[in-house]
Amino acid sequence: MTIEFSKKLAAHHTPIPGVVVYDLPVHGDNRGWFKENWQREKMLALGLPDFRPVQNNISFNEKAGTTRGIHAEPWDKFISVATGRIFGAWVDLREGPSFGSVFTAELDPSQAIFIPRGVGNAFQTLEDNTAYTYLVNDHWSADAQGHYTFLNLADESAAVQWPIPLEQAELSDKDKSHPRLADVVPMPPKKVLVVGANGQLGKALRAQYDGDSTIEFAGRGEFELANADSFTSRNWKKYSTIINAAAYTAVDAAESEEGRAAAWATNVTAVANLARTAVAHNLTLVHVSSDYVFDGTRASHDEDEPFTPLGVYGQTKAAGDAVVSVVPRHYIVRTSWVIGEGNNFVRVMAGLAGRGIKPAVVNDQTGRLTFTQDIAAFISHLLTTGAAYGTYNFTNGGQVKSWADIASDVYEQSGASKSDVTGVTTADYFKDKVAAPRPLNSALNLAKALSTGFDVADADERLTTYLKAENDKA
């Protein structure tokens, strides 16, 4: 066997999504050779997922022609050759448009390949005494075998051109009996769990993912965030992502003794439980934040602005953000002035307009509305496109307005007069009332969200559509 020495570490993508071949630098002299088979920092820099291997296996094959596979396993694998040489064949057995895609290559000790969960893996040894080594990111167990997906080595659709014909190769009886591609049940993707799925955002996420069997929705009855059993009774190996749509949002009530305890329990303690679970099982955690983490003194708030919350609600949301930020795979979607299905400012104003009431509305707090359908769509966009992890400001676009401006728009579109709305300062509105302090400016800089390629809908256009739908319901 001849090994090519001193290659540069490099990645080569293949026709199967997520399957990547790596050139490994091998250093040799008269004594033999040495290589770094797995080097996390360098591999991550090349784009290899941080798949957190937990087990290292070696398959020794005494004779050339030994053939194993095609097995799709419920974990990721990083494969290389320790000694000898193999012909590898990989077939995508995951649900989706790439199902049935095939890639083949010869590998020697100077190469490695990353195989994602659900991609069928097979190899044939081309030399005697070939040792094949692989890292996996889950522990093997007898129960796990029930989650494998198999394809026959001789499948006519995959049409793998084995260097040594299968009738001359060494195969196991089990591998000879695996199904053809037409009879293979594709391996489904891991699930996404939405908690807090019965609130405004939860309902929007249900609509966003309607008909998607990989999304699991859990309201308080199905997943109690304060109950440890909710976290220990689930097999988290079956999940890739948790979307946290639960929150305590009673801003004024949070200033009371009872409300303060409830706000910290939901917005911090429960979030810490989710974060701990995400870290332990290498899950992506999506969390929704608030403009209330800022004091509202800046003209526009960027994602990296330091926290300056004014009240208890804002303090709990800031603490929750800090907790989520330590999860390696996280998205914090920071939003403001949320409007969805349920009681909200727009619905209240439309009701007042219909009853001929002329309200006084705050005119020195400014920001943009955010409709839950767009939050749900943006979350889906982040997950689908694999956007960089981190915090993203997200509201609807368009002009920054005050609450009084928006109330006037609602009145006009509800058949009343804009002049029925009177502007009043925050100080005057809450005079002699028990209320939480509020940021005066809630405008969020949307540049980072826009950089992901998401088309941010205009707030005024969404308001018109929302009011029309409300009127149609009536």
Per residue in 390-429, pLDDT (tens digit) is 999 999 999 999 999 999 999 999 999 999 999 999 999 9
Give yes or no for a contact between 149 and 186, defined as CB atoms under 8 angstroms apart.
Answer: yes
pLDDT of residue 218: 94
The CATH number assigned to the domain holding 365 equals 3.40.50.720
Q: Are residues 142 and 202 in the same domain?
A: no
State the pLDDT confidence band at 145, using cuts at 50, 70 and 90. Answer: low
Number of domains in the chain: 2
Residues 150, 21 share a domain: yes
- The model's pLDDT over 326-375, given as tens digits with 9 standing for 90+, comes to 999 999 999 999 999 988 999 999 999 999 999 999 999 999 999 999 99
Query: Do residue 218 and residue 322 come from a single domain?
Result: yes
Read off the pLDDT band of 54 (50, 70, 90): very high
Sign of CA dihedral 391, 396, 401, 403: negative
Final residue in a domain of this structure, among 183, 205, 226: 183
Question: Are 214 and 174 in the same domain?
Answer: no
Among candidate residues 149, 183, 217, the one where a domain is terminated: 183
As a whole number of angstroms, the distance between CA 351 and CA 208 comes to 27
- The answer to whether residue 3 sits within a structural domain is no
The answer on 139 and 232 residing in a single domain is no
Contacts for 351 with CB less than 8 Å, ≥ 6 apart: none
Here the CATH number for the domain that contains residue 160 is 2.60.120.10
Tell me if 1 is assigned to some domain: no
**Within-domain flag for 419:** yes
Kindly indicate the confidence band of residue 144, based on its pLDDT and cuts at 50, 70 and 90: low
Residue 159 counted as domain residue: yes
Does 332 sit behind a cis peptide bond, omega within 30 degrees of 0 on the bond before it?
no
pLDDT band at 6 (very low <50, low <70, confident <90, very high): confident
Note whether 139 and 198 are same-domain residues: no
Statement to judge: residues 118 and 173 lie in one domain: yes
CA 215 remoteness from chain centre: 12
Catalytic amino acids? 71, 134
Write a three-state SS string for 352-377. HHHCCCCCEEECCCEECCEEHHHHHH
Global pTM value:
0.90
Residues 96 and 237 in one domain: no
Q: Is residue 150 part of a domain?
A: yes
SS3 122: strand
> Are 203 and 103 found together in one domain?
no
**Which residues, listed in sequence order, are joined to residue 288 by a DSSP beta bridge?**
333
Q: Which of 131, 162, 183 is the last residue of a domain?
A: 183
Residue 126, H or E segment: none
Domain that holds residue 452: 191-473
Q: Which helix (H) or strand (E) holds 87?
A: strand 86-92
The average confidence (pLDDT) of the chain is 94
- DSSP 8-class letter at 418: G
Helix, strand, or coil (residue 135): strand
Do 179 and 248 sit in the same domain of this protein? no
The rounded distance, in Å, linking the Cα atoms of 4 and 25 is 9
Instruction: Report the DSSP pairing between strands 119-125 and 111-115.
Output: unpaired
Same domain assignment for residues 74 and 101? yes
Claim to verify: residue 119 and residue 242 sit in the same structural domain: no
Considering the domain boundaries, does residue 425 fall inside one?
yes
pLDDT of residue 396: 98
Alpha-carbon distances of 361 from 191, 297, 426, 430, rounded to whole Å = 44, 21, 9, 11
Give domain status of residue 2, yes or no.
no
> DSSP string spanning 216-266?
EEE-TTT--TT-HHHHHSS-GGGEEEEEE------TTGGGSHHHHHHHHII
* Residues 387 and 447: beta-carbon distance below 8 Å: no
Look at residue 123 and tell me whether its pLDDT is greater than 70. yes
Answer whether residue 120 is part of any domain: yes
